[in-house]
Amino acid sequence: MTAGGYRVAPARLDAVAGESGSRAEALAAAQSAVAGEKLPATAFGQVSESAAAAKTFEKTMTELGGELGSHVALARRIQSGLVACAAGYRRADAQVAAMYRALLPEDPLPRAGNPAGIGGSADTGAWAHAIADNRVKVADALTAERSRLAALTDLDEVARSQARIKLYEDILAHDRQILRFDPAGNGRIAELVGHIEPGTRNVGLFVPGVNTQMANFDAYAGLGRSLVAADPAGRTAVVVWADGVFPQGPVAQGPAAGYAQAMAPDLKHFADDLRGEIASHAGSDVTLTAIGHSYGGATVGLAETHGLDVDRVLHVESAGMGHGVWSPADLPPSQAGVQRFSMTAPLDPIVLAQGNAWGLEWTGVGHGADPDVFPGVTELGTGNQADGSPSWGVSSHNDVLKPGSDSWTNIYRVLTSGGSVTP
């Protein structure tokens, strides 16, 4: 609010809350050290008053520990209050923004350069309400995660919680367009990077793979940002879709098809929704490309068996064409016109999964045919990393997504031009 001469800055409240949390942790550490401090009577010499001196020292330390404890509790109450205030202001901002967005017309009138009257952007209309609602959910999740972090002791859990907090703060600070959001469990989320609007010509739908969760989602969102930023004409948008339960641990859960089988119908329905947004905001002259990385490739492949409505599919270090997909005959007629591309870096361990039925496909294990040799698929080289060094081995599995690499360049070229790629 500025009319009254002041403005609330939730980010500043978050910063002060963080300072209060750090102070509380420091005081708690001091309290723990003091509470455990004891000296034997012999430390005060071999005189009759030694035992009394030791008891006095212990009493003093206990009282000091109690005082420190009260300061720790106060600092944590202040932190909790500040976090709640910041979340409250963000929630109110999001609700007001949603109210004003609701007053905007769904479909603006025809105008020069937009004779069909196509809508202004996917951040107006139906998706605008989802974005506004999810902003409120993210603010609430931030409050809850900060409180959860204060009680954690396991270092891995602390790191994951801190990563979630960083993500939530960045979403709120930069008004990121979150289309799906559920913080339960490992978390589910989908984000639109860029805008779907008149002039948009390329839309990507990126699906990540094994170990995807809320705590590492931003790494994949970063790929979306790099692809959108690379188009100087602003014609490209990318949706990063992690709105599912992904397998955790490549050895334990990676070969199981059940996760992809559960996600594939949801991905198909989301693509239908995305097609609707494209049609209403950008028109019909738009190419939609599904990009599946690792386990995400198998998920995209299975979504094709449900009739995934895309123009191109790109398998990147993909686990396979999808459980039970061994030839084009295993795909429905709707997929006959889909362009398909694949890339796998040399000696990436994912080759052990590609085309391997594991001898147990009937039990729900395995991901179908090797995308690199699937009929009609154009195989692309992964080439070199941005610094010119070759991309191969275990690290190549994720290195292929790094901007500047030959593989990233091929991803961008498939997304924006289809056939103009480096084999």
| Domain range annotation of the chain | 8-92, 171-415
| Per-residue model confidence (pLDDT) at position 147 | 94
Per-residue pLDDT of the chain (423 residues; tens, 9 = 90+): 444 444 566 666 766 766 666 676 677 777 777 666 666 666 666 666 777 777 787 788 777 777 877 877 787 678 667 766 766 665 566 556 555 555 555 444 443 344 443 444 555 567 899 999 999 999 999 999 999 999 999 999 999 999 999 999 999 999 999 999 999 999 999 999 999 999 999 999 999 999 999 999 999 999 999 999 999 889 999 999 999 999 998 755 778 889 999 999 999 999 999 999 999 999 989 999 999 999 999 999 999 999 999 999 999 999 999 999 999 999 999 999 999 999 999 988 888 888 876 555 545 678 899 999 999 999 998 878 888 888 888 888 889 999 999 999 999 999 998 655 555
296 torsion bin: left (phi>0), alpha (psi -120 to 50), beta (else): alpha
d(CA 307, CA 332): 7
| Per-residue model confidence (pLDDT) at position 235 | 95
| Per-residue model confidence (pLDDT) at position 114 | 42
Q: Would you list the DSSP string of 145-162?
A: HHHHHHH---HHHHHHHH
Buried b (16+ CB within 10 A) or exposed e, 162-191: ebbbebbbebbeeebbbbbbebeebbbbbb
User: Which is the CATH superfamily of the domain at 171-415?
Assistant: Alpha/Beta hydrolase fold, catalytic domain (3.40.50.1820)
| Per-residue model confidence (pLDDT) at position 361 | 55
* Nearest to 240, CA basis, from 257, 253, 228, 258: 228
| Per-residue model confidence (pLDDT) at position 78 | 80
| Per-residue model confidence (pLDDT) at position 87 | 61
User: Which residues pair with residue 202 across a beta bridge?
Assistant: 236, 287
| Per-residue model confidence (pLDDT) at position 3 | 45
What is the dihedral sign for C-alpha 355, 421, 375, 211?
Answer: positive
d(CA 189, CA 307): 23
